[in-house]
Amino acid sequence: MPADFELTLKAWQLITHEAKSPTYRRLKRQLSETEKAEAGGFRETAIVNDAWRATLASAHVLKAKTILFQCPSSFKQTAANIARSGWRYQYELGELKELATLVKSRRGYVFFNNSKMTEDALNFCKLLGDREHQSIFSEPGP
């Protein structure tokens, strides 16, 4: 592997997706009824905590500095979900400013995976003064 190669790891679905998700068909281990009821949604349950520890251990072995938490489309903006995961339907300007402050002076990755992801990414690039990436999202001129 090249010295400057950096791996990003996707968090295990047991953390993010409820057991009724079709993606569980590929899960190699059999879940108990309790585990099925407690999986996903960033809940404070034994199975989610175990999955988080396994994800962290994998990230450590692979030297991955970034973990992507991809939520299913069924993960809605409810008070409980926001409290557990910090997920937002659309970022407020103050949140983007705070995020920009965190990553502006160092290398980092920001994944926007919500229904307003393009708008959020554009606003974030503007806050960073990143003209190169703003042009990726901009519509071509007349």
- Per the CB < 8 A criterion, the answer to whether 75 and 86 are in contact is no
- Per the CB < 8 A criterion, the answer to whether 14 and 42 are in contact is no
Mean pLDDT along residues 73-96: 75
Question: Could you tell me the end-to-end alpha-carbon distance of the chain, in angstroms, rounded to an integer?
Answer: 44
Average of per-residue pLDDT values in the chain: 81
The tokens of 21 are what? 């998700």
Q: Calculate ∠ Cα 60-105-71, nearest 5°.
A: 50
Whole-model pTM: value is 0.62
CA 135 to chain centre: 24
Residue 142 has pLDDT above 50, yes or no: no
Burial class (CB in 10 A: 0-12, 13-18, 19+), 135: exposed
Mean pLDDT along residues 21-28: 88
* Per-domain residue ranges of the chain: 1-87, 90-142
Closest CA to 86 of 20, 12, 95, 94: 95
Among 34-38, 41-45, 72-76, 94-98, the minimum mean pLDDT is found in 72-76
What is residue 30's predicted lDDT score, i.e. its pLDDT?
92
